[in-house]
Amino acid sequence: MSETQPTITIIGCGYVGLTLAAVLAGAGFTVYAVEVNPKRLETIRQGRSFFYETGADPLIAAGVRSGRLIPTDSYEASVPNSAMIFSCVGTPDNPDGSSNLTYVFDAAGQALGLMRDGTVFVQKSTVPVGTGAKIAAMFDASGKKIRYVSCPEFSQEGTAIRDTLWYDRVVAGTSDPSAAKAVMAVHAAIEQNRGNIAKTAGLTPPKSLPAAEHLTVSLGSAELIKVSANAFLALKISFANSIAKLADQTGADILEVMEGTGSDRRIGRAFLGAGRGYGGGCFPKDVSGLIRTAEDHGADMEIMRAATEVNDSMPHYVIRKARAKLGGAGAEGDLRGKTVAVLGLSFKAGTSDLRRSPAVVMANSLAEQGASVRAYDPEAMDEAKSYLNDHITLAKNIDDAIAQTDCILIATDWPVFLVMDLPAVAKQSGATVLVDCMNRFNKAAVEAAGLTYVGVGR
């Protein structure tokens, strides 16, 4: 890496910021990682991530050891020394669904007083369209020559480092061509060094990779590209789940239906998996933020409201199906006196993130309906304590979770659950029902093991 490469500050070391900081340090940049939470900062200083993300820990450890990754809580020690600032702070949603931009404006305001002329300020956080224009105006009013760029991230939790290394597109929203060029140069450095970065992280490069697209667009377009992409993917999931409900009523198999639908190249197979719905820190927040932004500008996002309603219904739909199979009083069964194992709590495999996880919703709902619930997740047990109903028992391992149960819910498709010996599970647990909340099991294999299979749209 050339000595002329800029020193970079990352403000906010959450799921996006810490991943980016570790990758950039691996690419040879000197990176200040600004994190104001003392507990998180100490963990990073020890060369570890405070959340689970595949490949993160060895990459962070290597960066800290080399001195290229510098964890700090000080703007004063980092911002003045940096030619480029990436803002990666959180944008939680408000009760009305709008985006809380307090951290975004605070980060920009604190950095402004310390940035030198010519600094490129890059907004990575997902913000409503129009936010960047306000921050850029604030910078201009200061009299400093700060160049603002919106460069939204498109990584997924669980594969965030892989997505950052082998990105499919870089979007730079700005009216300053030189600032866009600087952002593209940083990503080019990642691309040039990704082989070594992947080796450090323990990741295997993809066998083939289409050339990445590099798009320079207007500031507002860049902001809207990010939320539009997430909203469309959320829409595909809710569409698949709507069809799954119809499949349940008509004897069709949603796996076959979506395979045939997704084989149309105009549609594609990605994000057409029916199941217990989406969650996490992006899709729910971005969809609600888009709806509210549209309202503020006199546009109606009725289609996204419908997608949200379908998604919110799915955990409860799955539980109703399971309850009916478990029997008891009433047409839909009764969970009182039943013991249920919930395997998987994170919103998706590969991450410890429990924010808005459908698995957590199901576990809590089962407990509220009278079931005795034991829950287990390979990576999210520490986080689970603050998300779960107090009456839910946190199991030590899979065996502990499934012992003497009536029903087993596979709520998140961690690989360790998908390779379980089903006949042994049935014998050990005594369960009669297996609920495949994400349609990942072979139905015939489950039934051959002596378990009643419950899927979504199957």
In this structure, are residues 185 and 120 in contact, taking their beta carbons and an 8 Å threshold?
no
CA triplet 9, 33, 15: central angle to 5 degrees? 110
**Token output for 20:** 């980016």
Distance, CA of 112 to CA of 103 (rounded, Å) = 14
Given 151, 282, 407, 437, the catalytic residue: 282
Q: How far apart are CA 137 and CA 391, in angstroms?
A: 51
Residues 170, 215: contact at Cβ < 8 Å? yes
Distance CA 6, CA 29 (A): 7
The whole-angstrom separation of Cα 198 and Cα 288 is 35
d(CA 194, CA 203): 10
- Residue 168's region, left for phi above 0, alpha for psi from -120 to 50, else beta, is alpha
Give the separation between CA 314 and CA 250, rounded to whole angstroms: 18
Buried b (16+ CB within 10 A) or exposed e, 368-386: ebebbbbbbbbbbeebbee
Is the separation of the CB atoms in 254 and 242 below 8 Å?
no
Residue 282 known to be catalytic: yes
Upper half-sphere CA count for residue 340 (Cβ side, 13 Å): 33
* CA distances in angstroms from 127 to 10, 34, 290, listed in the order given: 17, 20, 10
Q: In 3D, which of 125, 178, 113, 129 has the Cα closest to residue 152?
A: 125
Question: Could you list the active site residues?
Answer: 282
